[in-house]
Amino acid sequence: MNYSIEKLPAQEFPVGLREIPEPPKTLYYRGRLPDRSLTLLSIVGSRNYTSYGKQVVDELVGGLAGYEVGIISGLALGIDSLAHESALRHNLYTLAIPGSGLEDSVMYPATHKNLAYKILEAGGGLLSEFEPTFKATKWSFPMRNRLIAGISKATLLIEAAEKSGTLITARLATDYNRELLVVPGSIFSKNSVGVHQFMKLGATPITMSEDILDCLRIDIKSIERAQPKPTLSTTESLILSLLPEPTHRDELIRKTKLGTQEASQLLMMMELNGYIKSDNNIYRSTL
């Protein structure tokens, strides 16, 4: 499939990018740019995310499935890539704006070249104001961040340390009069310091997908979201009853009072069926 790099005519620049104080002079893209029917949400956060941050991304993005929402991020390591991957899993449009040009040879980070192709194959797109062969530099990322903040109606901040570069995007979102949304974190986590700083300054706290939809002014009742409940066995129901909150595998098996092998097989089958999810042996219910 051909994913050639195209230069976008100035009159076709996304409206949000024409409104920012220093609009891009040129834009290059690969794949498909977001339809105007989509409400765009940027998701940014720490490169060194925690298991909590990962769970938050999938929970919140998953709750947007079926709505006319597009996910924007920077293809970077950490929360950025998780946001793109979750959008792909939940069949949401996603656009990546890297801090480099769009040629394969300079795509940054190089480890996410495969992710970039997954985005393209799913009908998403890549966007950059840099020449196609431009290699990422320290100054190109703040420039890229202004596009991420400017193109979207709102920016969602998930985990950020006190001096995280992600905070640049958050600050720009407020400068551009966009909605800044933040996910509260543990008061004991360094990854929450930057987030809580913006919360004190008036950013909107987000604890569920419905909060995001409300901020984006999307009618939650506009689509049918009810799904048939799966038929569960007695032991599967038992497992779910033991997961009111994320629980370590060993503790979960102990509480089931089943044999280790039997419990392990059951957990594996439930995860394959999508009833539960695990991350570093921490299980949580998805139902």
- pLDDT digit string, tens, across residues 14-69: 999 998 989 999 999 999 999 989 999 999 998 888 889 999 999 999 999 999 99
Assigned domain for 228 exists: no
Give the model's pLDDT for residue 1.
57
Cβ proximity of 108 and 100 under 8 Å: yes
Q: With 90 as the cut, is the pLDDT of residue 257 above it?
A: no
For the chain, the average pLDDT equals 89
Tell me: do 162 and 245 sit in the same domain.
no
| Whether residue 253 has pLDDT greater than 90 | no
Do 134 and 272 share a structural domain?
no
- Say yes or no: 182 and 243 in one domain: no
**What pLDDT is stored for residue 221 in this prediction?**
60
230 prior amide bond cis, ω within 30: no
On whether both 53 and 187 belong to a single domain, the answer is yes
Q: Do 82 and 181 sit in the same domain of this protein?
A: yes
- 254 and 174 both lie in a single domain: no
Which residue shows structure tokens 């051909």? 2
Q: What integer pLDDT is reported at residue 8 of this predicted model? A: 94
Q: Are residues 213 and 100 in the same domain?
A: yes
84 and 38, same structural domain?
yes
Is residue 226 in a domain?
Answer: no
225 has a pLDDT exceeding 70:
no
pLDDT digits (tens, 9 = 90+) for 57-69: 999 999 999 999 9
Domain count, the chain: 2
Structural domain boundaries, residue 85: 6-221
For residue 232, pLDDT over 80 is answered with no
pLDDT band at 226 (very low <50, low <70, confident <90, very high): very low
Long-range CB contact pairs, 283-287, < 8 A, 24+: 283/243, 283/246, 283/247, 283/248, 283/249, 283/252, 284/55, 284/243, 284/245, 284/246, 284/247, 285/240, 285/243, 287/229, 287/230, 287/240
Domain end residue (candidates: 171, 200, 221): 221
- Residue 227 is predicted with a pLDDT of 52
Identify the pLDDT of residue 71. Answer: 98
Same domain for 182 and 152? yes
| Residue 229, domain member (yes or no) | no
Q: How far apart, in whole angstroms, are the C-alpha atoms of residue 152 and residue 155?
A: 7
Last residue of a domain, one of 221, 249, 266: 221
CATH code of the domain in which 175 resides:
3.40.50.450
Residue 120 and residue 258 share a domain? no
Q: Are residues 245 and 122 in the same domain?
A: no
pLDDT band of residue 278 (cuts 50, 70, 90) is confident
Domain's final residue, options 221, 250, 276: 221
Q: Taking residues 191-218, report their average pLDDT.
A: 92
- pLDDT tens for each residue of 73-89: 999 999 999 999 999 99
pLDDT at 269: 81
Q: Percent of the chain beyond pLDDT 90?
A: 59
CATH number at residue 247: 1.10.10.10
Q: Count Cβ atoms below 10 Å from residue 55 Cβ, excluding itself.
A: 17
Domain membership of residue 126 (yes or no) is: yes
103 confidence band (pLDDT: 50, 70, 90): very high
Identify whether 227 is part of a domain.
no
Residues 140 and 85 in one domain: yes
pTM score, whole prediction: 0.77
**10: DSSP letter:** G
The tens digit of pLDDT for each residue in 131-163 reads 999 999 999 999 999 999 999 999 999 988 877
Specify if 116 maps to a domain.
Answer: yes
| Token pair 């044999």: residue | 259
